[in-house]
Structure 1
Amino acid sequence: MSRNLARAAPPPAAPRPLFGVEIEVFVRLLPDVEDRIVQAGYDYPDSLPDYWLQWDENLENDSRNQRSKHDQRKRVGKAIMGIIDSALGPRNGWKCESDESLKESLLTEPHDTRRWWGIEIISPPMSVSRKWQKEIETIFDVVGESFDFWTNENCACHVHVSPGPTTDYTYSLTELNQMAKGAYYWEDALCDLLPIERRDNRYAKPNYTYFAHHEYMDVLRDGWGPVFDELDYITSQGQAEFLYTMSGGRTQTRYVSTNFDPFTSYGTVELRRQAGAASATTVIHRVLLAVTFHVSCMRFNFSQVRNARGYPSGEALIKELGACIKLLPDTCLGSRFLNWLKYCQETYADDRPSLETVINRQERSLRNGGDVPTAGGGGARRGGGGTSRGGGASSPASSRGPSRQTVVLPERTRAPPAPAPAPAAPRQRRQAREESPRPLARRRTQAVRDDPPARRTAPPPAPAPARRQTIREESPRPLARRRNPPPRDDDRRGAPPPRRRAADYDDWR
């Protein structure tokens, strides 16, 4: 059922958004806990819930028995829900579901590789005004007493946001338009804060992949006006057309960075771009990035950047989110959020894939009370300062989504064009073509890549074949085409026909 755009009352002056977080993560039952459960199943079976009584301690995640693995994942989810309920009480709103899409059978890095299972921990709608950070920390503390955590590039941390302060307040069509403009405008800057495997992820494609693609690619030439005009046009067509277009049009996919599909059912917008998390601290940072991004979209004046010809930088986004977090209540402070953003910018500046073991070592340290990583010197993206030749914004990087247009230098720094060479005579051009070596891509033989450049030459051509007439003369003629085929053993055509006896003509008489 579609959400009504009318509100019961105007929202409060200060932003009080709601959020919900979905944490995709691998878990492994700790060996000592598993031993106690198995022993209790023998000694006191009536004291254990069904999911522990049915626990298969010998099942591995690369088994071909899909039904057994499915049942084991469900037991993991029920076990974690039992732990959460015992800590937060019943009706807490948290859920834990199995997630087969994580493909735990492909794990190679963690210890005891075949004992991990993919799950998704889902929070209820939470207000930024409540003590939500403490609740997330409690989840990881109590679950971590029985399970270990692991994350990799297949995991993600999705965050749903809505205006709040209660679920009765949802986005108006104008606010949905603001969220869409923010998704396009901050796209390149957000990539500065993400690992390379999340910049063009198949489950979180950039929004421009499906709509206003050419307008986004031409920002360096035409500015942001054409992009915003396209978004304003589909907004003028009504809510249904807006949601249809922003969900991929005919493609109709939810695998986009800023996903508007949940608005119809839940009144939320889902931010799917961020990587996975295996600690409460990282989950809190993921939530704060999504919430401050929502606040930025609601208050940003996009008409002032219509004529800007360039993509905003990660440093500009950090500055914007830093101003937005000051508008949120004190319950959103205390996690060193801005320091974490700068750390992400420096860590992912070299565009190298993140090492799975390094990430999980850091996540384990955070779960054990370690300090948040700090931003140091020398880790900024090449060029520094957060601006470039694109008009106050960072130049597009080839590692982020589809290739973008090259940055055009200003007129005062553009080198003068080289004079064109005088045209050569036809005979000279023909002679030059004959003497110039043929390009490698057009040669019949390919150079060996391991050889040094000086030796990358084509081998001499093979000798020309003999004349076709000679080949025909030497090759035997097919049997069906010979005029006088050789006689076979059972062929009697070479012998004279047998003479008929007189008795053979009796029938004709």
Structure 2
Amino acid sequence: MDPSYRIGIEVEILLRPIGMVFHLDEKLQIITDFIISKCNKHLDATTQLRNKVNRTPHRLLNEWCLTKDNSVVTHEWNHFPFEIVSPILQYSPTSTWRNEIRDIFEVMGSVCNMRFNETCGLHIHISPQGGEWGIRTVKELCRTMFYFEEVVDSLVPRHRVENDLMQSSRRGSTPLLNKTPRECLAIIKRCHTMMQVINTMNDSGTRYFAWNFVNLIRGGIGTIEFRQPPGTDNAERILQWAEFVVLFLHAARMSVPFDTLSQHPRTVDGLLAFLSVHKLPGSDIRALRSLFWALS
């Protein structure tokens, strides 16, 4: 089994360009061009930003881009809702993905006043480096998500847990409503196709869940997406959440039967212990500890 992964980062954020005089009705395209022009003067060729405010960036996976985000709400007329979208980043011991994220946000912070509010979020996509998620593996991931769901909920603000755009599968997907984790697992075990798993976890193919499996539909981008982390303008917090997603899915992928999983208590310490069992080359468990200590 290839231990490497591919990840993608989407950061919803409010930006006000520093040094630009603009009018209330200034077009977002012009403002975006100004931000990107300033940023790219300080970024390496491999991390140049592209303006995608009038295009969907999610299939343009070979470059960093800045796009508008209609889900972000603000009453500040001079801060504009954007989404910073990464290209496919290689999660491996030799990858520079952490430095890319640090560079983007250091430069963005020098060019813009960055803010976030409760409507902003951080979304992290992941897929295995050597291929695609298989149905057996996805079932294992669902099992682990059910088991540690309340612990993961405790690491994010309440407004992210109660948000209809990132709801729990057990609380929002019709086939799993009011079921215990074991009952949910039994339902998932009875699924014979990936489409059945997706419809069970994401209520007939709706992506607005904490864990989004809809991209696994044939013809999709092949990722599992974690949508629950809150907005941030801090590169280190982004790295910590990315580390969590990779190690959580890696541990779930490598883990053993439910009775053995249940040996780990449903606590922050139990979750951290579970994530530490299966070593992943290039991982940074210290970042994970920092995240847990800061949020628990």
TM-score, length basis structure 2: 0.84
% identical equivalent positions: 20
For residues 209 and 89 of structure 2, the distance between their equivalents in structure 1, rounded to whole angstroms, comes to 23
Deviation at 1:84, TM superposition (A): 5.0
Q: Say whether residues 1:321 and 2:272 are aligned partners.
A: no
Q: CA 1:206–1:115 in structure 2 vs 1: closer, same or farther (change >3 Å)?
A: same
Deviation at 1:140, TM superposition (A): 0.9
| Aligned AA (2:209) | V
Deviation at 1:260, TM superposition (A): 0.3
**Match for residue 149 of structure 1 among 114, 126, 129:** 114
For residues 335 and 229 of structure 1, the distance between their equivalents in structure 2, rounded to whole angstroms, comes to 35
Alignment gaps of 5+ in structure 1: 1-10, 39-56, 60-67, 106-112, 346-509
For residues 78 and 296 of structure 1, the distance between their equivalents in structure 2, rounded to whole angstroms, comes to 42
Q: CA 1:84–1:299 in structure 2 vs 1: closer, same or farther (change >3 Å)?
A: farther
Deviation at 1:248, TM superposition (A): 0.4
Q: CA 1:183–1:258 in structure 2 vs 1: closer, same or farther (change >3 Å)?
A: same
Higher relative contact order (CA 8 A, sep 6+): 2
**Match for residue 188 of structure 1 among 121, 143, 150:** 150
Q: Structure 1 stretches (4+) deviating beyond 4 angstroms?
A: 83-86, 308-311
| Aligned AA (1:228) | L
Contact 2:135–2:194 at 8 Å: present in 1 too?
Answer: yes
| Aligned AA (1:27) | L
Which residue does the alignment assign to 1:162?
A: 127
Q: CA 1:230–1:309 in structure 2 vs 1: closer, same or farther (change >3 Å)?
A: farther
Map residues 73-472 of structure 1 onto 2, 5 A cutoff: 74-86=29-41, 87-89=43-45, 93-105=63-75, 113-129=76-92, 130-165=95-130, 169-208=131-170, 209-210=172-173, 211-216=175-180, 224=182, 226-234=183-191, 236=192, 238-249=193-204, 252-264=205-217, 265-304=220-259, 312-324=266-278, 326-329=279-282, 332-333=283-284, 336-345=287-296
Q: CA 1:228–1:95 in structure 2 vs 1: closer, same or farther (change >3 Å)?
A: same
Note the alpha carbon deviations across 1:89-113, whole angstroms, 9 max, x for none. 26761111011221122xxxxxxx4
For residues 279 and 157 of structure 1, the distance between their equivalents in structure 2, rounded to whole angstroms, comes to 11
Deviation at 1:335, TM superposition (A): 5.9
Contact 2:264–2:271 at 8 Å: present in 1 too?
Answer: no
For residues 152 and 145 of structure 2, the distance between their equivalents in structure 1, rounded to whole angstroms, comes to 9
For residues 207 and 80 of structure 2, the distance between their equivalents in structure 1, rounded to whole angstroms, comes to 25
| Aligned AA (2:86) | S
For residues 319 and 273 of structure 1, the distance between their equivalents in structure 2, rounded to whole angstroms, comes to 21
Structure 1 SS opposite 2:71: helix
Bigger strand share: 2
Structure 2 SS opposite 1:319: helix
